[in-house]
């Protein structure tokens, strides 16, 4: 291992932090990962839908999202909610979201998101050769209950094909033929063959094994609260009675990143978007493909013999409490698409909640922090954290070593809103 003066300190034990550590180690850099949770503990990367989604080339900030959000605000079971509060950071984030919800922003962003997801998919395939984490390559179905929902997804499919992605519009019979293991009640569907899914817990465990095997260190259960700087550089991270010195530093702390980055002089517009999931260990039926209920905004993923339902975007600060209404909304949506399922099937199933770091333009933050030459920020991936984990990690490694990235990524600069 190289001298400790070359050490990289990665803050964050989620998928972005672990992938950053893995690819830095593969470049020969000594790495220490610091995580808030105890070893292997719960974080936002474990209970998500486990999807790899080249189909998600439209950023969260897009035309129509403001109107949908306002309608959903008054429904306690809706898939989207912003908890009103007097918070200048929330007000700034909301204003920036509004300004970016335009056709022009979608046009400027779609090829970046396409390329990031396709490259990440390629890296997932490489990683699957090293470890088995349940990677399935059958694609994803966008399941449409209404004619209006189907019309919207047909338009998305056309836009996907226009930028070189694969997309096929299916009638109900064709959707049933593609995934005969599940009974569906639909107006139609769109199949994105390049999408994949995996078991998030197995993937995270595989990353931890690889990091340890490559000589990396993981410090668990450490709450970092201080970023120490000197002469335009970070010299250490400290907290909980521990101090970590290094040559380069990566902040990949998800929704907790802004507080430390403020100490670096960067007011990062980012909000925590709480999502929920419920995993049925013995579902009445088990699809082979992952899917999304289009109108209900619920993601569905087979994980081994179990079936996970995930959804909602609840913007309410760093709060991991369970909102029963949001969970109820997920459960109530299932029967409409999968008629063999009943609400009783979910009795006794413990809901999981995680906080996804959401940027106001739907583009992750990944790059060097202004004014601190040895600090990299990697956060803001929202619902695509798992999907963009490997490519984000490799891009972080490129920054740490000075290697050129696989494509220009200036649009992801952490200081783009300063």
Domain count, the chain: 1
Domain with residue 144: its CATH number is 3.30.9.10
User: In whole angstroms, what is the distance from residue 264 CA to residue 260 CA?
Assistant: 7
294 touches 145 (CB < 8 A): yes
Cα separation, 273 vs 82, in Å, equals 9
Those residues with Cβ within 8 angstroms of residue 85's Cβ, 6 or more apart along the chain or in another chain:
316, 317
Instruction: Provide the total of helices (H) and of strands (E) in the chain, helices listed first.
Output: 10, 20
- How far is 117 from 387, CA to CA, in rounded Å? 7
Task: Please give the chain's pLDDT, 418 residues, in tens.
Answer: 345 579 999 999 999 999 999 999 999 999 999 999 887 666 667 899 999 999 999 999 888 877 777 777 777 788 888 888 889 999 999 999 999 999 999 999 999 999 999 999 999 999 999 999 999 999 999 999 999 999 999 999 999 999 999 999 999 999 999 999 999 999 999 999 999 999 999 999 999 999 999 999 999 999 999 999 999 999 999 999 999 999 999 999 999 999 999 999 999 999 999 999 999 999 999 999 999 999 999 999 999 999 999 999 999 899 999 999 999 999 999 999 999 999 999 999 999 999 999 999 999 999 999 999 999 999 999 999 999 999 999 999 999 999 999 999 999 999 999 8
Q: At residue 254, what are phi and psi to the nearest 5 degrees?
A: 60, -135
Euclidean distance between CA atoms 17 and 285, whole angstroms: 35
Could you tell me if residue 282 is inside a domain?
yes
pTM for the predicted model, two decimal places? 0.96
Q: Considering the domain boundaries, does residue 392 fall inside one?
A: no
Q: What pLDDT score was predicted for residue 44?
A: 67
Let me know if residue 155 belongs to a domain. yes
For residue 167, the tally of other CB atoms under 10 A from its CB is 22
Q: Which of 279, 298, 302, 307 is nearest to 289 (CA)?
A: 302
Query: Hey, which bits of 53-139 come out as E strands?
Result: 80-82
Angle of helix 389-401 relative to helix 103-130, nearest 10 degrees? 90
What pLDDT is recorded for position 1?
Answer: 36
Q: 281 lies in a domain?
A: yes
Structural domain harbouring 75? 70-101+136-196+270-358
Residue 71 is predicted with a pLDDT of 75
Residue 31 placed within a domain: no
Whose CA is closest to 273, among 162, 181, 385?
Answer: 385
In a domain, 257, yes or no: no
First CA to last CA across the chain, in angstroms?
38
Q: Residue 310 domain-assigned?
A: yes
Query: pLDDT tens digits, residue range 335-383?
Result: 999 999 999 999 999 999 999 999 999 999 999 999 999 999 999 999 9
188 within domain boundaries: yes
């Amino acid at each position: 291992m190289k001298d400790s003066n070359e050490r990289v300190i990665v803050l964050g034990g989620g998928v972005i932090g672990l992938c950053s550590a893995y690819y830095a180690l593969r470049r020969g850099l000594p790495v220490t990962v610091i995580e808030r949770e105890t070893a292997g503990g719960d974080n936002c990367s474990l209970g998500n839908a486990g999807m790899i989604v080249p189909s998600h080339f439209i950023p969260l900030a897009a035309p129509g999202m403001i109107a949908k959000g306002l309608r959903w605000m008054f429904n306690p079971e809706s898939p989207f909610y912003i908890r009103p509060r007097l918070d200048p950071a929330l007000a700034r984030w909301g204003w920036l979201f509004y300004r970016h919800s335009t056709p022009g922003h979608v046009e400027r962003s779609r090829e970046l998101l396409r390329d990031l997801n396709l490259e990440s998919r390629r890296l997932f395939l490489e990683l699957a050769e090293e470890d088995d984490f349940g990677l399935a390559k059958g694609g994803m179905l966008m399941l449409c209950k209404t004619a209006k929902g189907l019309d919207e997804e047909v338009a998305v499919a056309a836009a996907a094909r226009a930028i070189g992605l694969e997309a096929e519009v299916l009638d109900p019979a064709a959707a049933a033929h593609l995934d005969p293991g599940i009974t569906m009640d639909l107006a139609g569907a769109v199949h994105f063959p390049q999408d994949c899914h995996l078991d998030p817990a197995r993937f995270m465990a595989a990353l931890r094994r690889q990091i340890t095997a490559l000589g990396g260190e993981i410090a668990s259960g450490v709450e970092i609260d201080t970023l120490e700087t000197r002469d335009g550089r970070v010299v250490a991270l400290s907290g909980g009675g521990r101090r970590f010195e290094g040559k380069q530093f990566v902040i990949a702390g998800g929704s907790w990143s802004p507080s430390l980055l403020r100490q670096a002089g960067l007011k990062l517009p980012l909000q925590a978007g709480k999502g929920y999931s419920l995993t049925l260990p013995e579902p009445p039926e088990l699809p082979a493909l992952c899917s999304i209920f289009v109108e209900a905004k619920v993601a569905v993923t087979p994980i081994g013999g179990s079936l996970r339902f995930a959804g909602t975007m609840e913007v309410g600060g760093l709060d991991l409490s369970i909102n029963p209404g949001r969970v109820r909304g997920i459960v109530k949506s299932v029967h409409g698409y999968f008629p063999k399922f009943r609400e009783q099937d979910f009795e006794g199933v413990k809901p999981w909640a995680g906080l996804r770091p959401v940027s106001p333009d739907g583009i992750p933050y990944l790059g060097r922090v202004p004014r601190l030459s040895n600090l990299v920020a990697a956060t803001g991936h929202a619902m695509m954290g798992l999907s963009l984990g490997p490519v984000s990690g490799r891009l972080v490694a490129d920054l740490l070593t000075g290697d050129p990235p696989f494509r220009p990524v200036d649009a992801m600069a952490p200081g783009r809103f300063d």
